[in-house]
A and B are shown apart, each in its own frame.
Chain A
Amino acid sequence: MLSAESSNMFMQDPMRFYRAKRDSARRRVGDKYTILGFISSGTYGRVYQARSKEEDGQIHAIKKFKPDKEGDVVTYTGISQSAIREIALNREISHENVVALKEVLLEDKSIYMVFEYAEHDFLQVIHHHSQTLRSNISTSVLKSLTYQLLNGLLYLHNAHIIHRDLKPANILITHQGVVKIGDLGLARLTQEPLQPLFAGDKVVVTIWYRAPELLLGAKHYNKAVDIWAVGCVVAELASLRPIFKGEEAKLDSKKNVPFQKDQLLKIFEVLGTPNEHDWEGLKNMPEYQNMKRMDTYNTQLHKWCMSRQSLATAQGFDFLNQLFKYDPDQRLSAKEALQHQWFQETPKPTANAFHGLPQHQIPPNRRITQDDAPSMMPLPAVAATSQLQTTAASQLQAAQAQAQLSGKGSAGSFGSVGGAGHTRKKARLG
């Protein structure tokens, strides 16, 4: 028999027994997975590599959302909009070219999303070629990656989802060379939005991949912003550096979004200054007057393409040109892009993007490090760690390499890919 005290508590907090019941039935992360190490830390949490204790020890990536803290005490303060989005959308979708969510575990005030593991990502491939191989990505690989990326995007767009944060670090590739679009933390359903898209998030898409209509302050935008980002990604794969590497103007103290002059300048230098003839809606853009005050440029895109081996054909140029249409309505849709002649030209895209590649051309496996914040996750078993790491020195090295690869500058201590104070700026605001 329970005491009077506990029955009082029950009347005061009638959910006590419910919670106790759920807590005891809950399967814990540690019951199901062995954490092998830490992969990356992002805006919303940390990503770990884990081995399933069931199903033949499959490898997974577990994204742990940062728990909220008040002082030192971890507490419940409400699940972030970003986590809700990523969870809600991932529960609905399933496509070969979109990273699959296996399950979500809720434990100790934290949310763990368990994803299928992807050994590589676009940023890694770019880096491997620019730093290690010092050679271009082959046309075949470039085309295969692009095709699969568009294929995944077509699925998302058909499902009325805009990704809104496409960039090399968010586009993963499995060991088998299959592209997997990841990170739906900024993605949104566009069907019957109760609020216009711009109302929810002041800033979307990381600055280098941000479409001109967004930079010009458009209140309404659509799937075409993802297509622009694809154009930027394709160009980056072809040249191994971001094509429009602008400096982001920071939000002012009132959180107003400033005019992104430098980013627009970087775009105009390559594509030329847009005019009302190419883009009817241009004059209605909120930043139109600011734009008018900038110097004008002519397009250089053809020249740009001709000097990049893998886009140096008429079709290659046309493809990129169509992805970079200033007028969002004229930009190719994912479907049209997939049907572009460039994909018909040899070499044709392959299902395994790394098909026929010599091993050394495939980027190395993800570097897994010791979690630098061990309290965040139960520490991996010693045996599991030692397989992966040998010395403390190599761990540090690995951590640095990883931080650079993902452009995170973890704890602000590591420089970014491009150096010179640039970082791959986050699209999101706190």
Chain B
Amino acid sequence: MATDFWASSHYKRWNIDRATVKLARSQDLQYVDDPEYLDFLSIFFANLIGKLGKKLGLRQRVIATAIVFFRRFYVKNSYCETDPFVVIAACCYVAAKAEESPIHIKNVVTEARLIFSSEEIGVKTFPSDNHKLAEMEFYLVADLDCDLVVFHPYRTLMSLCGKEGQITIREAEAGEMGTGIDDGPRYWGTGEGKLELQEGAVQLAWFIINDTYRSDLCLLYPPHLIAIAALYLTVVLHATTHNQLHGPPSSQGSQSQTHSSKIAPRRSSRPTNSSLKRHTQQDIVTFLAGLNVNMSLIATIAQEIISMYTLWERYKEDPSDTSARNTFSASQFPSTSNTLPSAPVSGRAGMMRSGSVFSGGTATSSAGTPSTGEDLSGSQHRLGQLPQLVKPAVMTPLFLTQVLLRMREAKMVDMGMVVGGMRPMAYDKRLERAQAAG
């Protein structure tokens, strides 16, 4: 089973189509002012899981599993009817157990409270009682139908990139991919030939995979296809970068050796300009095409990854950081040279794997209020007083938290409840929409 993806619960029960994903958000769509906010929430929540996971010392694969659990939970539930923050904490807690790296429930509660109540996010309602999280775990496991084994693209990436990649990564990550890899039969491709990429390129592909969890891709496509799409993007990005900066790869052959990642494997994640050591871009595209996967599907997935980056560009966790974000746009994606990847540069080797193509996207903010200029004096605003949150140019966690709160309130009003425990209030969403539109 662990090797047989096609027989797994992941494939049989959790590989779902876009219509199902859409349907899952239909109630939220009813209560959100702008449908786009839901996509930003998707990024926001994934980042939060990453942040909490890192605080708890979880490895990247455990974090990825937690995000998958979170997405699966919200295939069956609505944001506006639940508390995503409690769900996030429960996902981390269960994922740690499912991936055999258990953590104490108390730590989860403590760290989650710290992170969620920070000024940046401003959620003060996270329960301090361990039992509450344990209770959520129970409901979460039930909603997951007890399917707790999750497949990820990382393994495909490692086996596709062959020994070279595997060995350096294994040494460097001290077990991120596992001690004593016991690789079974492959469930895709021919198994012939390996892609020889330098570590920088492998790492970029790894980061792209990390980033894919910010969207629903992990629900829509089998992990091996996501891995191949990530590799495909890596190839495109790197070749272009390379050509722009230094001309064709062949002329840089000797220099590549001096930049060999083995010399200073962890100092920088910035790929050397010659990451495509022995392959031209065309070679690799041919190689990918030779795997027996549907290349047009790969192109679709790659396109969706790019769309996610485009969206993410307008999301910001650290208001003071603008550089990386603003230079990275979809239109520039294939040709951008100076922004990729400015991912983590220092820190423990084990943490490197958690990097992203957008280093800024995971930066922790110390800033208080977002400086995006929208009318967001926050929670004092009550429904009816504020017809719509003014859509900011850049999304921030605090804004998204407001969006969430507002969705929940709107849902509550619909259920006929009194808001805030003070003033009963007639609230007609359609009316408000009409007003806003007119």
Contacts and interface: CB of A to CB of B under 8 A. Distances in A.
Nearest to A103: B146
A161 B3 CA distance: 11
A106 B148 contact: no
Contacts of A220: 179-180
Contact of A191 (B82, B134, B183, B412): B183
Contacts of A161: 1-2
Q: Which of A11, A93, A160 has the most CB of B within 10 A?
A: A11
B418 interface: yes
B138 A189 contact: no
- Chain B: interface secondary structure? loop
Given A88-B98, A194-B175, A2 B184 contact: no
A63 to B, nearest CB: 13
B142 A84 contact: no
Contact of A193 (B4, B147, B155, B179): B179
Contact of B148 (A8, A10, A15, A87): A87
Contacts of A89: 149
Interface string A174-211: 00000000000000111111111000100000000000
B416 interface: yes
A188 B179 CA distance: 14
B9 A91 contact: yes
Nearest to B184: A160
B415 interface: yes
A10 B417 contact: yes
Interface string A71-94: 000011111010010011101111
A17 B411 CA distance: 12
Contacts of B419: 7
A158 B183 CA distance: 11
B421 A7 contact: yes
B97 A22 contact: no
Contacts of B408: 10-11, 14
Interface in A140-187: 158-161
A15 B2 CA distance: 34
A2 B421 CA distance: 10
Interface in B170-185: 175-184
A55 interface: no
B178 A191 contact: yes
A79 B105 CA distance: 10
A6 interface: yes
A79 B178 contact: no
A393 interface: no
B213 interface: no
B24 interface: no
A21 B136 CA distance: 14
B59 interface: yes
A106 B125 contact: no
A154 to B, nearest CB: 13
Q: Which of A13, A78, A93, A196 has the most CB of B within 10 A?
A: A78
A15 B100 contact: no
A200 B100 CA distance: 7
B82 A76 contact: no
A88 B148 contact: yes
A3 interface: yes
Interface in A1-38: 1-8, 10-15, 17-19, 21-22, 26
A379 interface: no
A79 B149 contact: no
**Contact residues on B (Cβ < 8 Å of other chain), bracket:** 35 or more
A15 B141 contact: no
Contact of B131 (A19, A77, A160): A77
Contact of B138 (A14, A79, A91, A160): A79
A39 to B, nearest CB: 22
B149 A76 contact: no
B248 interface: no
Contact of B137 (A2, A76, A194): A76
A122 B127 CA distance: 48
B155 A92 contact: no
A92 B8 contact: yes
Nearest to B421: A4
Interface string A327-351: 0000000000000000000000000
Interface string A93-108: 1100000000010100
B157 to A, nearest CB: 12
B61 interface: yes
A46 to B, nearest CB: 19
A192 B100 contact: no
B310 interface: no
Given A14-B83, A78-B134, A79-B97, A159 B422 contact: no
B130 interface: yes
Contacts of A11: 125, 408, 420
Interface string B122-164: 0001010011011111110111011111000001000000000
B148 A189 contact: no
A109 interface: yes
A88 B82 contact: no
B136 A84 contact: no
B388 interface: no
B88 interface: no
Contacts of A19: 135, 139
A275 to B, nearest CB: 26
Given A188-B100, A192-B182, A159 B2 contact: yes
A5 to B, nearest CB: 7
A421 B77 CA distance: 54
B3 A78 contact: no
A84 B2 contact: no
Interface string B79-117: 001110010000001100111111001000000000000
Nearest to A95: B1
B305 interface: no
Given A19-B139, A159-B2, A193 B148 contact: no
Contacts of A189: 2, 100, 149
B62 interface: yes
Interface of B: 1-4, 7-9, 59, 61-62, 77, 81-83, 86, 93-94, 97-102, 105, 125, 127, 130-131, 133-139, 141-143, 145-149, 155, 175-184, 408, 412, 415-422, 424
Given A12-B125, A76-B134, A191-B183, 4 more contacts: A1-B424, A79-B138, A88-B149, A200-B100
11 contacts: A5-B421, A11-B408, A13-B83, A76-B135, A77-B130, A91-B148, A189-B2, A191-B2, A191-B3, A191-B178, A193-B100
